[in-house]
Chain A
């Protein structure tokens, strides 16, 4: 058997095609994962918890973990609801719905940093929002949306910016999911006398569950990692975990504590994914038909 023929066999070819990707993922995912863990657990005298202790003692740690969770918890559900509403709207396939869908998907291409800057132009002290409110005579002095005096408002601007930027991905996933639901089911439900909300609750949502689940997982993980929006808008007013990791590496030159933050983020991401998979279990046979 010559080698060309051997290469042509279906048994070996797929593995050969996967090989580059596997090798790449090994070098750039598995190795860094090991390194990150060892960076965060290894000190001069071998295994140590000192980096994690250092992280816990970081003055910003408590705030960062609180903010990270609260941001994710307020952004993700809001996005899910908005995206679901928009997806249902677009899925009625009215004239021009494709055009609107494309518009809604636009922020998909916008980075977190850019989104932060976009909203900075709106919320900054002499920004567009204050200018408009002023011109309308609604306020007499600019409102300080972003300031240490008003962390709550600053937090809100970050939520808005993230919502604006990253709802598109949820929307796209949900629309893709909705398109896979055959109209027959809805018509069948209608014939059987289901009202609009009943169709939504008993037919659409259950069939959409796999899409909802992947959207939820993807969005939660990325929301937990979000940092550039927070930095661009609020500087250090609203510290988040990923941001702390960044500062510890680039400002304080401490890869150990930076890694400890990263490992903590990973652990939280995995934990959240596990929770979602556990409590939103979908049976494949339900969606396959």
Chain B
């Protein structure tokens, strides 16, 4: 290896590590904060690495009235959102990937336009409607509005996923004795499954993270972000840090699982199909 290549390599890794540092350090701080004993937060200057690791702060967070409940609510809402979103959106994604039909382009544009809707624009009138329909302050209500927010993404993502499964495979199955549904179930579905799982996790994360709609739509049945947001002004700092940590962790885990599909999904979103 000559000097120039070596120098170039050094710069590459230096730059890459610097950026990695920028991304990771705040996460590490959050984790440290979550395992710092409560009384340490009153120290000054605060030791960056706590004098001892403790579950105090976490315990306090989880034992705070409403938090555990909101955690469970978040999981339920995210699961419902996931089911609803894929149930409604995946067929549309399949249609977009497989068929050329009149209005396809209009539908695609419509889907892109819905991404421009501010959450507030949807959440406020829907809340007003939900009060009328008896869905106000219910988990289903939150899941319904989260589905509305995740649906455009789900359609775009699943379109990309089904485009990745060659149409000829399904056709081959049909010439070999499968019905259209059979060909889908035996060939397209198993091949799309990892991608669909990634889409499901992505949907889960969208719902898990959403705070605006969840907050104005609920009073008793808060999701975790709604609970944390409404308690911001009345809670001690360490409560907030623990809340941040709790919200981040599942998201990071999911990101790990879907990392291979990130480009699949967003590549599909940008390649003007």
Contact = CB atoms under 8 A, between A and B. Distances in A.
The answer to A–B direct touch (Cβ < 8 A) is yes
Interface string A223-251: 01101100110010000001001100110
Contacts, number: 290
A284 interface: yes
Contact of B155 (A21, A173, A179, A225): A21
Q: How large is the interface on B (under 10, 10 to 19, 20 to 34, 35 or more residues)?
A: 35 or more
A21 B151 contact: yes
Q: How large is the interface on A (under 10, 10 to 19, 20 to 34, 35 or more residues)?
A: 35 or more
A193 interface: no
A232 B232 contact: yes
Contacts of A121: 26, 29-30, 33, 237, 241, 244
A189 interface: no
A211 interface: yes
Interface in A58-101: 85-86, 89-90, 92, 94, 96-97, 100
Nearest to B253: A109
Interface string B227-259: 011001100010011011001100110111001
Contact of B20 (A104, A225, A287): A104
B205 A33 contact: no
Interface in A161-177: 164, 169, 172-173, 175-177
A17 B259 contact: no
Contacts of B151: 21, 24-25, 28
B16 interface: yes
Contact of B44 (A103, A120, A126): A126
B247 A114 contact: yes
Contacts of B94: 17
B167 to A, nearest CB: 12
A18 interface: yes
Given A24-B148, A118-B26, A262-B120, A113 B247 contact: yes
Given A100-B20, A211-B270, A246-B215, 12 more contacts: A14-B98, A17-B91, A28-B144, A105-B255, A110-B247, A112-B211, A116-B244, A121-B241, A172-B263, A180-B267, A231-B232, A255-B124
5 contacts: A13-B99, A18-B92, A111-B210, A114-B243, A179-B263
Across the A-B interface, the 9 shortest Cβ-Cβ residue pairs:
A117-B244, A111-B209, A109-B251, A35-B125, A28-B148, A176-B267, A17-B95, A262-B120, A14-B99
Interface of B: 9, 12-13, 15-16, 19-20, 22-24, 26-27, 29-30, 33, 41-48, 87-89, 91-92, 94-95, 98-99, 101, 104, 107, 110, 114-122, 124-129, 144-145, 147-148, 151, 155, 180, 205, 208-212, 215-216, 225, 228-229, 232-233, 237, 240-241, 243-244, 247-248, 251-252, 254-256, 259, 262-263, 266-267, 269-272
